[in-house]
Every structure is written in C-alpha cells, then in structure tokens.
Structure 1
C-alpha cells in the first residue's frame, strides 16, 4: 500500500422506506468507484445494530485520488439520487495510519 494512502469511512442512514433503493444505489456506486484510478478498496456494509445504516469503507492511493473521486460525475449523480432518502448528512471520516503521521 502506498505511504500516502488514506482510508475513508462514511457512516450514513437511509430512511426506512427508502432503504432498498439506497442500498442498490450505493452498491452500484461502489462498482463504479472501484474502477477509478487511485481506488484500492471500496466496500458497502450494512450495520448489524442499526437496521437502516449503510457504511462505506474505502482506501485511496492519496488525498488527491479521493478528491478526484468526490469530484466525479457518478458521485454527483449518486448523491443527487439519494436526496430526501437519507436521515441527515453522512459522517465522512478521512483517516491516515498513526505510523504515517510523522512522514
């Protein structure tokens, strides 16, 4: 893994009546994201303790690769398609390994 790699965890919750559609949308977005330059991992998970929570765990080569991802057309389309179907805004956490903080 590149020393500049970052990990991103996104915590989000679908409104109950929209959960199936949100899950399908995120799964489809994951397929597209995995094809992006700089994407090392992109997975979507259901939370076992919160029935309508869907989370992503991502690994990107760098902050720049993640920013290109955020600026991509398929992310914009996906986000727009989820408006009104989520409970609040997602909590997006961008992480670096502690061992890499001094670099």
Structure 2
C-alpha cells in the first residue's frame, strides 16, 4: 500500500480554478481500481490544497497520473502553481 499527502500551492489568481479542477476528478479518481482513498481538503490560512491518498501500489499511482483526465491538470499546474506540488509518501508506524 502507498500512503501519501500532496500539498498543492496555487498562485492566488489560480486558487479557485485549481480547486475546481480537482473537484471535477474526485469521483473518477475514487473509481480507479487502484485507489483506496482520495480525500480533498483546503488549508485556507496557507492557501494550500491538500490531497490525502492511499493507493494499492506505486503502479496504481503511476496509472492514475497517466489518466486522460489527470494529464490536463498537470499541464495547467505548470503556470498555475507557486511551486511544485509537495508529495509526502508516508510509512505507517505500528506500536
């Protein structure tokens, strides 16, 4: 299993458009066979969009990134973001 958090920081003038583009693909992404969790949040104070994701494998995530509804978002990000998305891959800890 692959757990990650993605922090997306749009330029102020692109914030609402970035948010809507992600909202538009939520259900499509959640329906992907390799997607176990795909939640979307915003941190208004820091003007960041936050994705909390769990994928069956790296291959499932790679397949998600190649979807025809995801590629245009990545293209849009080229000019719309303040900086590259921060992707934090997480390892589960147990007691």
Structure 1-normalised TM-score? 0.81
Q: Give the 5 Å matches for 1:67-78.
A: 67-78=62-73
Structure 1 segments of 4 or more deviating over 4 A? none
Match of 1:29 in 2: 25
State whether structure 2 residue 50 is matched by structure 1 residue 55: yes
Deviation at 1:11, TM superposition (A): 0.7
Larger helix share, 1 or 2: 2
CA distance in 1, matches of 2:66, 2:84: 18
Per-residue CA deviation, residues 9-28 of structure 1 (Å, 9 max, x unaligned), is 10111111111111100111
- Bigger CA radius of gyration: 1
Question: How many aligned positions are there?
Answer: 94
Structure 2-normalised TM-score? 0.87
